[in-house]
Amino acid sequence: MLRLEKVDSPLEEPFAPRNVFQTPEWLRFIAKTQSAKPVVARIHDNGTCVGRFTGLVVRRFGVPILGSPFQGWMTGPMGFDLDPAVPRREAVDALMRFAFKDLGCLHVEVLDRHATFGELDGMRARLAEFYTYELDLRPDEDSLMAGLVSSCRRNLRKSEREGVTVEEAHGIEFADEYYGQLEDVFAKQGINPPYGLDRVQELIRCLEPTGNLLMLRARDGEGTPIATGIFPAHDEFAYLWGVASWRSHQNLRPNEALFWNAIRMLKERGIPALDMGGGGDFKRKFGPAERRIPFVRKSRLPGLMTLRDMAARFYWKRAVSAVVLGAGWEPEVGLSYL
């Protein structure tokens, strides 16, 4: 039987995570923006360490919750870093015992990128479907270009003719630039973004010094900044955290140029995949594959899951159940990483 052992200093645990959302810097970012407590646990099998679990404990309405991740954190898959021989079903079972007994939590949520519905089927827990797009960055650049839909290639040529250029950005000031464009896109619907400028600033403070954060800026032919993008990346994959642009310049197609350059730069860094999040026609233009990942949820007390669902509906009403890609509004098909 697998057993989890909590690490006393989770932000100083000496191991090399393969997932940006498992890094100490990301845990620090979530801890600061969500008033959460990082949890890293070693997974033992008869005294041998066979993996690690990464998450955070947060309180919502007084209820202690272990999230890996949890809604509202703007965080992708966390979950486990396991030896290949360890069944994930057993790891999840051991995690539930650890969360309810050792941590005293009343609710647990886990999104593990390597889990499948088949191996988790039959658990006494809810398995929600997280739907995402993932682009394989391993083919050569010509193959990636060929994988774009024809309209996307036309838009890329248009942005090039219009003199749109894309550059890597740096510094905390980039947060103001990105957030101003984000507000402009949300203003089209007469609402505000579901998170504040301070969250973007904290993300840059925590992640940029590690080299695990790609920030891009698109300029028009006169050098005016017109679009921005933020892509956390480490080892296994990169993640689309946010893209925005000024509505007045969207006819120049800066978002296509921004995405294409992100693909090229991430590939140059040796990142093998780009997780683009949930649905939307804009993302499909780049030829990603659809993925469905089980989101495991379990409550210790009757009724908590119902309360959780009510809070989720309230959150999505507030967040407008949408993802902003600068080019406009596109419905989120899956349960977003938000």
Q: Tell me, yes or no, whether 196 and 310 share the same domain.
A: no
Cα separation, 311 vs 308, in Å, equals 5
Mean pLDDT of 24-37: 97
Side-chain half-sphere CA neighbours of 219 within 13 A:
9
Q: Tell me, yes or no, whether 214 and 276 share the same domain.
A: yes
Tally of CB atoms within 10 A around 153: 15
Q: Tell me, yes or no, whether 182 and 266 share the same domain.
A: yes
User: What value does the mean pLDDT of the chain take?
Assistant: 90
Q: Tell me, yes or no, whether 219 and 91 share the same domain.
A: no
Answer whether residue 157 is part of any domain: yes
Q: Tell me, yes or no, whether 159 and 273 share the same domain.
A: yes
Which CATH number goes with the domain that contains 111?
Answer: 3.40.630.30
Q: What pLDDT does 329 receive?
A: 32
Could you tell me which residues are beta bridge partners of residue 273? 136
Mean pLDDT of 1-29: 92
pLDDT per residue as tens digits for the range 235-248: 999 999 999 999 99
Mean pLDDT of 282-298: 94
Answer whether residue 330 is part of any domain: no
Answer whether residue 329 is part of any domain: no
Could you tell me which residues are beta bridge partners of residue 165? 219
Q: What pLDDT does 333 receive?
A: 29
Tally of CB atoms within 10 A around 106: 18
Q: Are 13 and 40 in contact (CB under 8 A)?
A: yes
Provide the token pair at 24.
Answer: 């100490």
Mean pLDDT of 224-253: 96
CA-based angle 50:32:53, to the nearest 5?
Answer: 10
pLDDT at 312 over 80: no
Helix residue ranges, H only, 65-190: 88-97, 117-120, 141-146, 150-161, 174-187
pLDDT per residue as tens digits for the range 139-157: 999 999 999 999 999 999 9
Q: Tell me, yes or no, whether 262 and 180 share the same domain.
A: yes
Side-chain half-sphere CA neighbours of 11 within 13 A:
13
pLDDT at 325 over 60: no
Cα separation, 241 vs 76, in Å, equals 9
Domain end residue (candidates: 247, 265, 289): 289
Q: Tell me, yes or no, whether 116 and 185 share the same domain.
A: no
Answer whether residue 6 is part of any domain: yes
Provide the token pair at 200.
Answer: 């973007």
Q: Tell me, yes or no, whether 92 and 111 share the same domain.
A: yes
Answer whether residue 81 is part of any domain: yes
- Which H or E run contains 300? none
Q: What pLDDT does 50 receive?
A: 96
Q: What pLDDT does 302 receive?
A: 77
Answer whether residue 34 is part of any domain: yes
Q: What pLDDT does 303 receive?
A: 78
Answer whether residue 333 is part of any domain: no
Q: Are 272 and 136 in contact (CB under 8 A)?
A: yes
pLDDT at 223 over 90: yes
Number of domains in the chain: 2
Q: Tell me, yes or no, whether 157 and 54 share the same domain.
A: no
Q: Tell me, yes or no, whether 105 and 122 share the same domain.
A: yes
pLDDT per residue as tens digits for the range 153-206: 999 999 999 999 999 999 999 999 999 999 999 998 888 998 999 999 999 999
CA-based angle 338:211:266, to the nearest 5?
Answer: 75
Cα separation, 247 vs 180, in Å, equals 11
Q: Are 279 and 333 in contact (CB under 8 A)?
A: yes
Q: Tell me, yes or no, whether 114 and 182 share the same domain.
A: no
Residue 79: give the domain boundaries: 2-129+296-321
Q: What pLDDT does 305 receive?
A: 79
Q: What pLDDT does 314 receive?
A: 58
Answer whether residue 111 is part of any domain: yes
Q: What pLDDT does 337 receive?
A: 39
Q: Tell me, yes or no, whether 278 and 157 share the same domain.
A: yes
